[in-house]
Amino acid sequence: MAQVNSFLQVNGLSRSVGDRVLFSDVSFGIAEGQHVGLIAQNGTGKSTLLNILAGKDSADAGTVIFRNGIRVSYLEQLPRYPMELTVREAAHWHLQLDQMDEEERQEVAIKSDRILTKLKISDLDQPLSQLSGGQLKRVALANVLTLEPDFLILDEPTNHLDLEMIEWLENYLSRSNMTLLMVTHDRYFLDHICSLILELDNQTLYAYRGNYQYYLEKRQERVDALSAQIQRAQNLYRTELDWMRRMPQARGHKARYREEAFYELERVAKQRMEEKRLRLQAKSTYIGSKIFEAAYVSKSFPTSDGGRKVILRDFYYNFSRFEKMGIVGANGTGKSTFVKMLLGEVQPDSGRFVIGETVRFGYFSQEGMQFDQQMKVIDAIRKVAEYIDLGGGRHLTAMQFLQHFMFTPEQQQNYIYKLSGGEQRRLYLCQVLMQNPNFLVLDEPTNDLDILTLQILEEYLQDFRGCVIVVSHDRYFMDKVVDHLLVFRGEGDVKDFPGNYTQFREWERLQPRPQSEAKSEGRGQRPQRSDEKRRLTFNERREFEQLTQDIESLEREKSEIVEALSGAALSVDRITELSKRLPVLQEELDEKEMRWLELSELA
């Protein structure tokens, strides 16, 4: 897959781990300015391939060639920084600040601070040692965006971002001139940003010159062609099997080639049959009409400044039988706390949750994955149950259930420590589902799962004969699974919306908006890139300077309004006036900040 003007050319790359081949003789090229997505099943070498490209790992064979003189940056799935650094220092990590003049250093600092603000990191003097893993990932993301490399490699960039941050990053990258190679499970993100999809499948790399939707269409054509080939092989397999049964006397020297051909046909006929798997429809434990009632629940937590952070305020909700609800909202608005109160792990300040007697929860949590690493995969599932009931006297054994979730018989006999992080996450999901609950509560189930696993899980949940609550920032997943939303907006404000995420965003879009929402034509188009990086024109330089002043002024006004609204000395008319001004101001601020970031790439 050679490219004209390639930024990256990979030739004959191979890599194995022990006796397991991850990929073999892989070749591809990425041209300047391309936005490329890499798709593969967990455990097949996605992160290993990225590490090899970034120079953090080595291949068994093959070459990786970047164009001379380009700057390459890499956002690792689990970033590593010296823990004594502050947030601000980490956001400038690898930047040659000492080689910049004062004006350049100032511009870099401003850009870095703005990106951190968009990623909701506010305390820039906080040591990294005090951050959560999710916060550290966001700081690392700010670092690579501030670096403005020519070629940016991203491993799961949307993990630990809330929906607002994901949409901001999606908008930022889709407009960027940077060449991108990313691994992500977020299919809307792939669809909106990438123009080339690479799929690592069965140790081979396939290229699809289009977005995620195009990839789905063309991959299906490839699978259909392969299925036809396998069907032909099966027909030959049956013919050969019949011959071998009927003609034992023919197995002399002259017929040996027929016997060898038979075993080759057997191998071909059995390959990739997992793609013909029947949909798994487990029989859930009976669930009555009474599910749960959140009866005027309130919850808040003390803050460092002596105030209270409100999660819920007199919240009432009566959950319906067979409801499939999604919970969305910014990080820190109380989504996971709500789930933990429902499960009895956190107590409300007032009000109560009344749970139906027949409800049997299955809880997939962000922190709940704990395994004995010396245990075999199959034993971890058999410890939960030997089989799962499908109804009508049918059942799936633990081994069959694992195969449905893409654990081969060989993998099932492996020790857990040999599994990748994504494979262990998939095994944890199997543990939860094998409990045969009638009410599934899934808190960020899509993190670190590959797209194929998500497709299987989506099918399972669509057919699930019980209740479901999903907390997720994966828009595609939510659209396919849920039919109802609770939108956590912060400070106890929870919106009850009857629809999926895309329907909610469309509803929001149709609400009356300030006139400043109107955007100039052509704004969504990606700028063209020439061989030489374009510099700011005189007018753009003046616009850039003016934007800096405008943004500072708008931020001051916003702070003043927020402070005023927090007080108690305003008249009703003044409160109304400021409340109307605040969203208009925020929209104007977002517009100017995005334009500032665009111009800063050229500055």
pLDDT, tens digit, for every residue of 139-192?
A: 999 999 998 899 999 999 998 899 999 999 999 999 998 999 999 999 999 999
Asked if residue 526 has pLDDT above 60, the reply is no
* pLDDT band per the 50, 70, 90 thresholds, residue 3: very low
Sheet containing 361-364: order of strands: 361-364, 439-443, 467-471, 324-329, 484-490, 493-497
DSSP state of 187: H
* pLDDT band per the 50, 70, 90 thresholds, residue 522: very low
Q: What is the pLDDT of residue 517?
A: 47
Q: Return the sign of the alpha-carbon dihedral for residues 507, 512, 517, 523.
A: positive
Helix (H) or strand (E) holding 352: strand 350-355
Residue 518 backbone phi and psi in degrees, to 5: -55, 130
Q: Return the sign of the alpha-carbon dihedral for residues 343, 298, 160, 498.
A: positive
Asked if residue 94 has pLDDT above 60, the reply is yes
DSSP state of 528: P
- Give the model confidence (pLDDT) of 440-469 as tens digits: 999 999 988 889 899 999 999 988 989 999
Task: Please tell me the least confidently modeled range out of 289-298, 385-394, 488-497, 529-538.
Answer: 529-538
Length of the chain: 603
DSSP state of 374: T
Task: Please tell me the least confidently modeled range out of 287-291, 309-313, 367-371, 551-555.
Answer: 367-371
Q: What is the pLDDT of residue 429?
A: 94
Asked if residue 297 has pLDDT above 80, the reply is yes
pLDDT: which is higher, 416 or 227: 416
Superfamily of domain 6-216: P-loop containing nucleotide triphosphate hydrolases (3.40.50.300)
Asked if residue 273 has pLDDT above 50, the reply is no
- Give the model confidence (pLDDT) of 215-267 as tens digits: 998 988 888 887 777 777 667 767 766 766 666 554 454 455 555 565 555 55
CB 193 within 8 A of CB 218: no
CB 466 within 8 A of CB 450: no
Asked if residue 40 has pLDDT above 80, the reply is yes
Q: What is the pLDDT of residue 485?
A: 95
Across 232-236, 282-286, 335-339, which has the greatest mean pLDDT?
Answer: 335-339
Q: What is the pLDDT of residue 557?
A: 87
Rounded distance between C-alpha atoms, residue 64 and residue 56, angstroms: 12
Average pLDDT over residues 102-113: 87
Asked if residue 42 has pLDDT above 80, the reply is yes
Q: Both tokens of residue 370?
A: 């704990």
Q: What is the pLDDT of residue 341?
A: 96
Q: Can you name the CATH fold of 515-521+533-602?
A: Helix Hairpins (1.10.287)
Are domains 6-216 and 292-509 of this chain identical in fold?
yes
Q: What is the pLDDT of residue 603?
A: 63
Q: What is the pLDDT of residue 158?
A: 94
Rounded distance between C-alpha atoms, residue 80 and residue 533, angstroms: 31
Question: What does the DSSP assignment read for 37-101?
Answer: EEEE-TTSSHHHHHHHHTTSS--SEEEEEEPTT--EEEE-SS----TTSBHHHHHTTT--GGGS-
Tally of CB atoms within 10 A around 107: 15
Residue listed under structure tokens 């109307």: 580
Q: pLDDT > 90: what percent of the chain? A: 52
- Give the model confidence (pLDDT) of 474-510 as tens digits: 999 999 999 999 999 999 999 999 999 999 988 888 7
* pLDDT band per the 50, 70, 90 thresholds, residue 311: very high
The rounded mean pLDDT for the chain is 84
Q: Both tokens of residue 592?
A: 């100017």
Sheet containing 350-355: order of strands: 308-319, 292-302, 350-355
pLDDT: which is higher, 338 or 281: 338
DSSP state of 486: E
Rounded distance between C-alpha atoms, residue 346 and residue 299, angstroms: 10
Rounded distance between C-alpha atoms, residue 109 and residue 447, angstroms: 31
Rounded distance between C-alpha atoms, residue 417 and residue 419, angstroms: 5
Q: What is the pLDDT of residue 228?
A: 77
Asked if residue 349 has pLDDT above 90, the reply is yes
DSSP state of 531: S
Tally of CB atoms within 10 A around 17: 13
Q: Can you name the CATH fold of 292-509?
A: Rossmann fold (3.40.50)
Asked if residue 576 has pLDDT above 90, the reply is no
Question: What does the DSSP assignment read for 218-282?
Answer: HHHHHHHHHHHHHHHHHHHHHHHHHHHHH-GGG-SGGGHHHHHHHHHHHHHHHTTGGGGPPPP--
Partnered with residue 123 across adjacent β-strands are: none
Partnered with residue 77 across adjacent β-strands are: none
Looking at residue 116, its amino acid is L
Q: What is the pLDDT of residue 2?
A: 45
Looking at residue 139, its amino acid is V
Asked if residue 202 has pLDDT above 60, the reply is yes
Q: What is the pLDDT of residue 144?
A: 94
Angle at 12 between CA 10 and CA 14, to 5 degrees: 105
Is residue 115 packed enough to be buried (19+ CB in 10 Å), middle (13-18) or exposed (0-12)? buried
**Model confidence, pTM:** 0.76
Is residue 314 packed enough to be buried (19+ CB in 10 Å), middle (13-18) or exposed (0-12)? exposed
Tell me if residue 104 falls in helix, strand or coil. Answer: helix
Among residues 190, 184, 197, which one has the least CA distance to residue 137?
184
Tell me if residue 112 falls in helix, strand or coil. Answer: helix
Q: What is the pLDDT of residue 103?
A: 83
- The domain locations on the chain are 6-216, 228-276, 292-509, 515-521+533-602
